Structure 1
Amino acid sequence: MPRDIIILECTEARPEGKSPSRYVTTRNKKSLLTPGRLEKVKFNPALQRRTLHRELR
């Protein structure tokens, strides 16, 4: 299977004392464009704004 299932977690919610939002998505294992952890800007409903979400390992 060429794609991995990954979890993205909010990086800005914990310092503010709120619960971090999590998203489940997939990524291409063999992609040369994203060798490290995947980062995306997604909506966090607890903070009511778009925040940076980073891949969990």
Structure 2
Amino acid sequence: MAKKGNRIQVILECIEQKKSGIPGCSRYVTTKNKKKTPNRIELKKYNPVLRKYTIHKEIK
């Protein structure tokens, strides 16, 4: 039987690349605890298209 917990999978997408209009997208999949962090998260991750670290925001 699967374990039921507070952790859920979320998708992070680069906001700098989205604003600039460059085709493609940089996305990462991670997990978060929905009880401890109910708000959307923002993390600095590497974007291979822009070749630098950028802010990635949680999308629905």
Give TM-score, length-normalised by structure 1.
Answer: 0.86
Q: Which runs of 5+ in 1 are unaligned?
A: none
Could you tell me which residue of structure 2 aligns to residue 54 of structure 1?
57
| TM-score normalized by the length of structure 2 | 0.82
Indicate the structure with greater helix content.
Answer: 2
What percentage of aligned pairs have identical amino acids? 49
Unaligned runs of 5+ in 2: none
1:25 to 14, 18, 30: 30
Paired residue type of 2:54? T
Worse-superposed segment, 16-25 or 37-46: 16-25
Residue of 5, 16, 27 corresponding to 1:12: 16
- Aligned CA-pair RMSD: 1.1
